Structure 1
Amino acid sequence: MTTTLERTAPRDLAAELPARLSLTPKTTLAGQLDGAWWPYSRDLEAELPPLAAALEEPWGRVTRVTVNPTRWPVVPHTVPMGGRLLHVGWFTEQDPDKLILLSYTVGRWDLLVIPPETDAASAARLMAAAAIPGSSLTAGVLMANETVIGRGMRDARRREATWESEGGACMSPFGNRMDRSTLPLPGDGWR
């Protein structure tokens, strides 16, 4: 029997789950980002209320949110949240991997948005990197770096699997099998 699991949570489940956040500690160092958010889905109407609620205590009341529409299939104008409306705007000029939160009384916060389908190890690296105080790395740079790191990790796992499937055979740096005749010889040679 085969079971297929969705990598993103349905609307009801997303609203019940706590927001997955990593925030920059309060410091005088100003960086490009104030932390990272890893939503469960690409449904802003379901995802924004838990996010704004989680941020009320440390940051104050969020009144507006802006996104780049390339990462969100539907961008509602307003999202109901606990008897009030959260206003949502979109700008194609905004970094697609960033969410901007605004408050009339407190200010602005920029969060890296980690795609919901991201694996846990990549999300953990991204959340930690986005929360470094004073970092000059933008959301786009962090995502590009993670793409390279993730690709390297997948290649390393593939190479290890190849090693194991071949019984630990010697491989050249170019991925070719090496036998004794192709190994470098010591000064006196092998016999």
Structure 2
Amino acid sequence: MRPVVAGALRPVDGGWRPGSSDLEAVLPHLLWEVAQRGSQVERVIYRLDEWSHAPKQIRVGGDRVHLDGYHRQPRHTVSLLCSDGSRIVMLVVPTSVSGPAARAIMTNAGRAGNAETVQQLLGLTLTDMAPFTDPAVAQQRWDTDGGPQDARRPATDLM
């Protein structure tokens, strides 16, 4: 994780590979690491559909940290709001990524001057992300785009 510079525009500040989708179980270690670098996290903003369990708040080292889940939080990120008003955006590397690949992604995410987006860092394409991977959304798109060409449509002859 690189230091956050006030007013700096950046997609992410560092990378994190949690051991599970249970935010309550994995978050204390991340918050401890951030505290070791001099930032006290007061609030964590996460994407609701990426975590299996997350309470409204947790205690870390005697301090209460509020957890807020949103559907519009960018995918594969958590935002850490600190007591000094700074925000640290962490790339969340999926547990399905191999160890060596995860380390390379996290190294690149935390590199000074990094301007890569989350999608670039994870090597994602549009077809790797919802709505392209959601079968219900794909079916709806198929239906609204005309669906299958079949005999239900009236035949037309052109002369």
Structure 1 segments, 4+ long, off by >4 Å, are: 25-30
CA contact (8 A) 1:43 1:72 kept: yes
Matched, 1:113 2:92: yes
CA contact (8 A) 1:31 1:133 kept: no
CA shift, 1:124, in A, is: 1.6
* Aligned with residue 137 of structure 1, among 84, 102, 116: 116
Q: Which has the larger radius of gyration?
A: 1
CA contact (8 A) 2:2 2:110 kept: yes
CA contact (8 A) 1:63 1:103 kept: yes
CA contact (8 A) 2:44 2:67 kept: yes
State the percentage of identical aligned residues: 28
SS class of match (1:67): strand
Compare relative contact order (CA 8 Å, sep 6+) and give the higher one, 1 or 2. 2
Q: How many residues align?
A: 124
Counterpart amino acid of 1:126?
I
For structure 2, which runs of at least 5 residues remain unmatched after alignment? 126-159
Counterpart amino acid of 2:56?
H
SS class of match (2:37): helix
**1:63 alignment partner in structure 2:** 42
> Which has a greater percent of helix?
1
- My pick for the range that moved more, 26-35 or 106-115, is 26-35
Q: What value does the CA root-mean-square deviation take over the aligned residues?
A: 2.1
Matched, 1:37 2:16: yes
For structure 1, which runs of at least 5 residues remain unmatched after alignment? 1-22, 148-191
**1:52 alignment partner in structure 2:** 31
Residue by residue, what CA displacement relative to the aligned partner does 1:80-101 show, whole Å, maximum 9, x if unpaired?
2222221000121111200100
**2:58 alignment partner in structure 1:** 79
* CA distance in structure 1 between the aligned counterparts of 2:43 and 2:18, rounded to whole angstroms: 18
Counterpart amino acid of 2:2?
T
